């Protein structure tokens, strides 16, 4: 009697499992891979002011920003515009970048590169929207590289207690905050914290000053230090002193 009850229990369990399996098949799902197909969507827009409409752009997500690391996810889009990148949920920190490939062929001046300025992006279990990237000529050419007219001198101090031997620091002047579309006006490589002096064209108007600290040989994103918490200075006809950049 007891053996019959046990046998009946297992038969019922088998029939229930078979019914669930049949229902999954009817819905077009594979019960063995449903969990594995779950992804998190990272979406946004790639902006490239000087790309052609036919230029292909590749958006990558890496576990590390180093060039030796292969992407964990990648997508190609036909020209500047919206993208969707699919990654595994709970991946943690990822580094997003975009590269533009000219439809006119690769030359030393055709490469366009950009990265998400708030890297790394932390990927959890929910979709992430509005992750926009600006792709510009790389390396960018500064306006001062060809300018021959009168200039305004911007000077101040860079205060960065965390400086380590071997780090590279560039003082940068742009026509927009670093997370907005703008042009590079001038840049200056300095040996470390201390006094700096940077020239910009006279009458440039609003200029945004910040320092970019990079770590050659180490897979770390650059550290950005801003003047006046990202506020602008007005470059008109006279030199400007006291433009201090602090951590």
Q: What is the pLDDT of residue 25?
A: 40
Q: What is the pLDDT of residue 5?
A: 45
Q: What is the pLDDT of residue 227?
A: 93
Is 143-246 the same fold as 35-137?
Answer: yes
Q: How does pLDDT run across 48-83, given as a tens digit for each residue?
A: 877 766 678 899 999 987 666 789 999 999 888 899
Per-residue confidence at 33, pLDDT binned at 50, 70, 90? very low
- Indicate the length of the chain as a whole number: 247
Q: Who wins on pLDDT, 136 or 110?
A: 136
Q: What is the pLDDT of residue 144?
A: 81
Q: How does pLDDT run across 100-119, given as a tens digit for each residue?
A: 876 554 444 456 778 887 88
CATH number for the domain whose boundaries are 35-137: 2.60.40.2990
Looking at the domain 143-246, which fold is it? Immunoglobulin-like (2.60.40)
Where do the domains of the chain lie?
35-137, 143-246
Q: How does pLDDT run across 7-31, given as a tens digit for each residue?
A: 444 444 444 444 443 444 444 333 3
Q: What is the pLDDT of residue 109?
A: 46
pTM of the predicted model over 0.75: no
Q: Is the pLDDT of residue 157 over 50?
A: yes
């Amino acid at each position: 009697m007891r053996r019959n009850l046990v046998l009946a229990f297992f038969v019922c369990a088998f029939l229930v499992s078979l019914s669930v399996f049949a229902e999954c098949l009817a819905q077009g799902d594979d019960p063995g891979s449903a969990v594995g197909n779950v992804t998190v969507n990272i979406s946004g827009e790639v902006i490239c002011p000087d790309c052609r409409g036919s230029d292909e752009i590749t958006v990558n997500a890496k576990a590390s920003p180093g060039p030796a690391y292969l992407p964990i996810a990648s997508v190609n889009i036909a020209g500047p515009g919206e993208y969707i990148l699919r990654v595994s949920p709970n991946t943690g920190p990822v580094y997003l970048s975009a590269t533009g490939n000219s439809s006119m062929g690769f030359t030393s001046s055709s490469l366009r590169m950009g990265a998400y300025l708030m890297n790394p992006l932390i990927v959890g279990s929910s979709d992430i929207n509005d992750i926009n990237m600006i792709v510009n000529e790389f390396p960018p050419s500064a306006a001062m590289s060809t300018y021959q007219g009168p200039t305004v001198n911007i000077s101040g101090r860079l205060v960065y207690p965390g400086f380590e031997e071997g780090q590279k620091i560039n003082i940068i002047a742009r026509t927009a905050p670093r997370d907005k579309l703008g042009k590079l006006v001038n840049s200056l490589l300095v040996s470390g914290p201390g006094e700096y002096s940077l020239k910009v064209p006279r009458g440039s108007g609003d200029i945004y000053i910040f320092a970019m600290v990079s770590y050659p040989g180490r897979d770390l994103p650059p550290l950005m230090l801003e003047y006046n918490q990202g506020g602008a200075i007005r470059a008109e006809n006279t030199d400007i002193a006291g433009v201090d950049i602090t951590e």
